[in-house]
Structure 1
Amino acid sequence: AADGFEIIGTGGSITNKCNEIFLGNNGTALRFLTALVCLGRGRYILTGEKRLLERPVGPLVSALQNMGVAISCHDNCPPVEVMANGLKGGEITLTDIESSQYVSALLLCGPYTAKGIMLTLEGNIVSAPYIDLTIRVMNDFGAKIIISGKHQYTVGTQNIYTGREYYVEGDASSASYFFLAAALAKRTIRVQGVARKSAQGDIRLLAILEKLGCRVTDGETWVEVSADHDLAHGDMTFDMGDMPDMVPTAGVLAAYRKGRTMITNVAHLRIKESNRLAAMVTELNRIGINASELSDGLLVEGGAPHGADISTYNDHRIAMSFAVAGLITPDIKIADKKCVDKSFPEFWQELAKL
């Protein structure tokens, strides 16, 4: 398609043209493909870079084993090896999961299992808005999901996906760096292609910006953030369990605000592309900001950041967050700029427009 992509599906019949799939450091692809390849036939190995091999996938592997899949991993981490023979489905319970993508991966495969799935979630659930987003997209493509109680999902096999034309909204995570730029540089920036009414959890960063004194206006396909004075002062606490990918953005924001900022309910950031909590503490300290790890988050004392050479840990979100700080603080230099290519290859060109 001229302004998008045309995808020819296989109706749930997964071919096996290469038994080893190398995924770099892409945790999303790892989790989604771990479930997806189970619909195929034969041997699959999912592997990647050193950091990916340190990121847990055990709860998803266990759930698939309980459905009769011959699947294994190493100490709860990749490589994942699957001897696929279709996916039976059945009843699954996940408890205290560290990634909502385990849920999305299982739900997405549900219509193509032999007998459907009934998935129950217990305990702590991170990034819950992205489960709702998964269900919305599945419904849009013709699947039927029954939600019983608070966190019980049933996916039948009567309604499989049907092709259609589909508009994919812009990525709220990528937009956040320009919302941050508006707040720090005290200017007005409009981002096209996103909407405040989005189901994406990361759009909720706008509520934090408003609490800190920014003005937010929006239309059907754009969001504009304006700031013309210093960010609100004082001690504040933000539960970011529904938007954990916004923690680097919020951590940099906190560095420029007078007062103490506590970010909570994000312990699972230790298993992202980097150990994001440790990385944020190290790099905030490097620019002269007092920051420390909590058991489930960060504590940041706002101050007057200065320039420094920033390590990115091959983590796109660390790179982009500190790059925005470089708009207003001289001599902040980002190592390994190419790591942003994972999610936002045009980032540096867009940032230069500011």
Structure 2
Amino acid sequence: MISQDNARPSAGVPMLAVVGTRPDARLEYATELARILNRQLVTSFQLRAAEEPVAEASRLTAAVKAPAGAVVEIPDRVSTADLAAELSSPVSATRLEGVICVVDAAHGVQDLFREDYLVPRSGHPSTATARSLVSITHVEYASLIVLVNWEDVATDELRTLLALLHHLSPLARIRLLEDLADMGHTLPDLPAIPGYDAHLDRPGWTKLLARGFETFIHDDRVTALHYDCARPFHPVRMHELVHELMSPERFGTVVRSAGYCRVASSANVTGHWNHVGKVMALSPVSLDDDLELLLDPWADTDPLTVGQNLAFIGLDLDREGLINALDRAVLTDEEFLAGPSAWAEQVKRLR
């Protein structure tokens, strides 16, 4: 059972955030959770018109009079990574105790392969974000994952889903919910939930990159792979590789891949590789002024990556085939030894 203390701490109004890709299941769970915990419920309906839903959620929670605090149902379009970063701030009027992700077991994997986009309330379509890139944050940054509607899912499929969720979010606790009326017995005491820290590396891919990946739920179909290579990608061959990753029959089903990479066409830029299902995003995160210095083994540099530092999590993965494809996509011996100046000239010729 979840224990509650009627005395409100001085660190801000306690908030439990409920996220998930299925609005009906998310709202139903949040409503019952608020009733059980004697907390005030803030729904996504109340946040729907806000330009900044997280700020509005914080404002509404700060005004809550219930001693136990609030349960806030977060809209689809809010990234849980952004939510955690903002509400975990020491100056926030609220105190984020945990993020509960409600997953409909019948649609768990399919929801990560959606190809539609989420547009901000009054934003231009150019500011839209792929739904799958937002949805993956619900799982990866959760402190607790609750599976609903799992009773009719085949045992083998359920075991695979549990293992996949654990690989994606190894720090989250996972619970099967049989009945909303009995949900209080499926949840741990709040103090027992891993302390919510926005700076903690929760996603499984970050654990893979740090070589600290440990899993406790295993399934033969679920695979995690770390790829590390000092060579930049050839831009054309990387483009071909990305298309291959989107084809389930090529290497199995790559559900999630993420990390840091470099491409020869802009080799002084470290990019964030961010892929979910059928959506891929590559955004710059750092810039090196002197690429030749970076490649000098005696130089005092500490980049995010010199070449590729990527994590892959998926179903029925062909590990050898995927590694070979990655190796083919980076620069060859001859291309790499030619140096950064030659890489730039090569790209000009490709254009």
Q: For this structure pair, what is the TM-score category when the shorter chain's length is used for normalisation? A: under 0.3
Which one scores higher on RCO, CA 8 angstroms, separation ≥ 6? 2
- TM-score, with normalisation over the residues of structure 1? 0.23
- TM-score, with normalisation over the residues of structure 2? 0.23
Pair member with larger Rg = 2
